[in-house]
Chain A
Amino acid sequence: MTDQKDPKQKASRLSFLRRPSTHYSLGAILIVGIAAGVILWGGFNTAMEATNTETFCISCHEMGNNVYPEYKETIHYTNRTGVRATCPDCHVPREWTHKMVRKVEASKELWGKLIGTIDTREKFEDKRLTLARREWSRMKANDSRECRNCHSLESMSSEKQKQRARMQHKMAAEDSMTCISCHKGIAHHLPEGMTEEDDE
């Protein structure tokens, strides 16, 4: 009789899982883990979104002294309805996956800042065409996705547009063109040395 094993003591390896203390501790770890995850993820996101603001962008003098004053002369900064598009609206994708890709690419800019590739006006002007072409090809490749965050050919009002704009947008719709093909220089000065290929 004493050699009969207690059925409750079967599968002793995993039996600890049934103990209340296990339940409480695992439960606590889970809840704390979820909370910590939220805090960490939220923290990560907050930090990342902090790099997604105009204030952050222009905190580097390379941007603040060169392209920022140029942008302030344009309609994306000042218009009659007071609606503004700031740096990230055009240069950082809204969708999470594309945003992550762009942010990883942008880490190269930290390196550039460190070694000062465009830290003087002259260096910036020399590199302006290269930098512009980089953005133009990025925008062309994603079919002007950032422009389409706000604008769409379908919702344009032909009554409110001037004859010239009406004609051009009608053609753009017919030929399935992308915004950046024509609207280079919409927010910053056009670089010198543009060629016919830049007109595509």
Chain B
Amino acid sequence: MKKIMMANAVGATLALTTLNAMAAAPADWSAVPAIETGVFYPGVSPVEWVTKGTEHGGARVLRKGETCAACHSEEIADMGEKMVSGKKIEPSPIAGKAAFISTTVQAAHDGENLYLRFSWKQPAASGNPPMDELNPMKIAYMLEAGDKVALAGQAGCWASCHGDARTMPGADANKTKYVKDGSLAGGIYYDLNQWRSGENKSFDGYVANHREMEGGQALAGADGKLEGDTWSVVFTRKFTGGEGDVVLVPGSTYNFGFAIHDDATSGRFHHVSLGYKLGIDSEGDITASKL
């Protein structure tokens, strides 16, 4: 607790005295190592389903401590296809929706800020009426430190996905994402950063026992653009922030996952990634090295 407060004080001082952090983002991303991965359509697969052995054979493997990626990393597109077509765990499939969006992820840092770049080709529109009138596309990622959120170390963002959250079948329209035993004070939360294309605005929030979209201080900003049919979004995130912001320390790894709300969707109709490890100068599925 004391450490976080100290970090906050330092962060606040830095924020007041540093120039606009956006100016330090790499100009040339081609030199930064890239991970080719992707996001898939997840159907109705809340953590309650994922951990139920009679529904999902992987529940046993999860109980043994393995990650989702250990079994599923080679078949992300196939999984998306099964769910988007309605063959499995999707009671209301949307015709024409993409099964899988191949995404390039790059990460770098300069000692003060983490720069995350996501790039992908915009899939064809499904023709479905927009759920989010303002934003044709949204992209978000979550960070978790210390494996305090149960399953975050194995399943990325999945611990925030519950069957009773809004847009899930039969759920209360006002109930947001949450994590079991979520508490900011206890350090049990995901740090959530999002950029919305229509509003051209970035949001820094968290998911604890409910989801707050704003109030974080670590996200300095995000720059997103669509060139032809290719999106490129760069997040600039300070190492430290305030309440609900995970503190990034070089040498550490963090639990990481990202999602794209393509096709003007909202709620559960996003495309999601498996859980990964993001390392700051340390080994992980994605490593942010010093520029």
Contacts and interface: CB of A to CB of B under 8 A. Distances in A.
B53 A163 contact: no
B54 A168 contact: no
Interface stretch (B59-67, B106-114, B243-251, B277-285): B59-67
B74 A182 contact: no
A199 interface: yes
A199 B71 contact: no
A6 interface: no
B64 A164 contact: no
A168 B72 contact: no
Contact of B54 (A164, A167, A196): A196
A171 interface: yes
A19 interface: no
Interface in A182-200: 182, 190, 194-196, 198-199
Contacts of B66: 167
B23 interface: no
A164 B60 contact: no
B70 interface: yes
A168 B53 CA distance: 13
A190 B54 CA distance: 9
B126 interface: no
B73 interface: yes
Contacts of A171: 60-61, 64
Contact of B53 (A167, A190, A196): A196
Contacts of A199: 53-54, 59-60
Contacts of A194: 54
Interface in B39-78: 53-54, 57-61, 64, 66, 70-75
Contact of B72 (A163, A195, A196, A198): A163
Contacts, number: 33
B70 A167 contact: yes
A5 interface: no
Nearest to A194: B54
Interface string B195-225: 0000000000000000000000000000000
Interface in A157-172: 162-164, 167-168, 171
B54 A163 contact: no
B71 A164 contact: yes
A182 B57 contact: yes
Interface in B226-256: none
Contacts of B60: 171, 182, 199
Interface string A17-50: 0000000000000000000000000000000000
A168 B61 CA distance: 7
Contacts of A167: 61, 66, 70-71
Nearest to A181: B60
A53 B74 CA distance: 41
Contacts of B61: 167-168, 171
A190 B66 CA distance: 26
Contact of B75 (A164, A168, A198): A164
A168 B57 contact: yes
Contacts of B73: 163
Given A163-B71, A163-B72, A167-B71, A198 B54 contact: yes
Nearest to B53: A199
A182 B60 CA distance: 9
Given A167-B61, A190-B54, A199-B60, 14 more contacts: A162-B74, A163-B71, A163-B72, A163-B73, A163-B75, A164-B58, A164-B75, A167-B66, A167-B70, A167-B71, A182-B60, A194-B54, A196-B54, A199-B59
5 contacts: A164-B58, A164-B72, A167-B61, A167-B70, A195-B54
Q: Which 9 A-B pairs have the closest CB atoms?
A: A199-B53, A164-B71, A163-B74, A194-B54, A167-B71, A199-B54, A167-B70, A182-B57, A198-B54
Interface of A: 162-164, 167-168, 171, 182, 190, 194-196, 198-199
